[in-house]
Homo-oligomer: A and B are copies of this chain.
């Protein structure tokens, strides 16, 4: 079927021709369609059985331009091919944290999947001050399963290289290269600044030698180090979370890149939520301490859980291999353990560098996070923004000097005490 862009009006007709979807809609004769897209690249519809709204699905269709910029930024629809393949791979490796896909069409650039609306987008719920005690466990499982099993540590040499080629994602990587690693660090016309930020605040980033070099190094690592199949955009807007369940959605930015990019993305966004609640909860008259304690604990547990689970997967995999010689000598087991520790330390270093870029770009670049950008008191917002930039600079410039994740959360607490201002 040739590509055509669906609308609220044409979605029902399309779905009536797809039995595997209609099954999940109770074979409804009448469908209700609601556009809910808040992304930049796609149209998203919730489609429900008009007689029984509990029966519903989500339809996501890619359009050939970047929505936030407009039709002047064309994007090949090919990215939906990547999203469909990435969802399939994630479903294979970690089905409990990925939406069920009912139907996918590369020609139509669309996917129809489980409606997770009852869970809510994590970012919005975190702005409300909700906490998610199972989030770190779920996210770290998702990260460890996906990153380990798509890397050379698990895959055979041929499959890995074929996968790298199959997941080349030129256009969406370019968005990250520009909007995460370049434009926010120079006086670029696409940047948007809080007017309360001074020239000195901008120069703190735009003209700092060590920061600029470090960011360029992270960009180079992003473009060159094809370690594992990444989600590629794992911020809190790409997670649907309930008390018991957590789903990672929207892997259209998936490609083979450095593991720390995914881990850093989610850690950066939790840290930004931490900083933002210097404002939100006190403004509502609530003591922010319990929620912000959870934020930092969540950062520690995402890293700690990921490292522990990744390590266990690697150890079990090597031990299961017949005739493994490399560590097969009296001290080999201890040496292999030392290798895993050193490897995971390198991933931590990358994680901090990428987290820093993901934070700083949300302050100075085009695409903001509501956690901070929605603070109407621009002076209060600027104060938070300066703290985010300060932590970002520290993390990216000195990323090799952090021994553990607790040093990171201690630094956040130091910049912004738990109890707020």
Contacts and interface: CB of A to CB of B under 8 A. Distances in A.
Interface of A: 152, 157-158, 160-162, 164-165, 168, 170, 173-174, 177, 182, 185-188, 206-207, 209, 212-213, 216-217, 220, 223-227, 325-332, 334-335, 338-339, 342-343
19 contacts: A152-B220, A152-B224, A157-B170, A157-B223, A158-B170, A160-B223, A162-B168, A162-B170, A165-B168, A182-B326, A186-B325, A187-B328, A187-B329, A206-B329, A207-B329, A212-B326, A213-B335, A217-B343, A224-B226
Contacts of A162: 168, 170
A41 to B, nearest CB: 18
B223 A225 contact: no
Nearest to A227: B224
Contacts of A158: 170, 174
Given A152-B223, A209-B334, 4 more contacts: A164-B168, A187-B328, A207-B330, A209-B335
A335 B168 contact: no
Given A152-B220, A188-B325, A225-B225, A212 B157 contact: no
B168 A342 contact: no
Contacts of A220: 152, 343
A217 B182 CA distance: 29
A216 B158 CA distance: 18
A338 B213 contact: yes
A252 B335 CA distance: 35
How many copies of this chain are found per oligomer? Answer: 2
Contacts of A335: 209, 212-213
A98 B404 CA distance: 49
A275 to B, nearest CB: 27
A185 B326 contact: yes
Contacts of A225: 224-226
A209 B164 contact: no
A188 B188 CA distance: 56
Contact of A174 (B157, B182, B209): B157
A168 B161 CA distance: 7
Contacts of A185: 326
A157 B171 CA distance: 9
Contacts of A343: 217, 220
Contact of A213 (B187, B207, B328, B342): B342
A102 B192 CA distance: 56
A216 B165 contact: no
Contacts of A325: 186-188
A155 to B, nearest CB: 10
B339 A216 contact: yes
Given A225-B225, A226-B226, A326-B212, A161 B173 contact: yes
A16 to B, nearest CB: 39
A225 B185 CA distance: 25
Nearest to A219: B152
Contacts of A161: 168, 170, 173
A208 to B, nearest CB: 9
Contact of A328 (B173, B186, B224, B332): B186
B188 A338 contact: no
A325 B220 CA distance: 17
Contacts of A206: 329
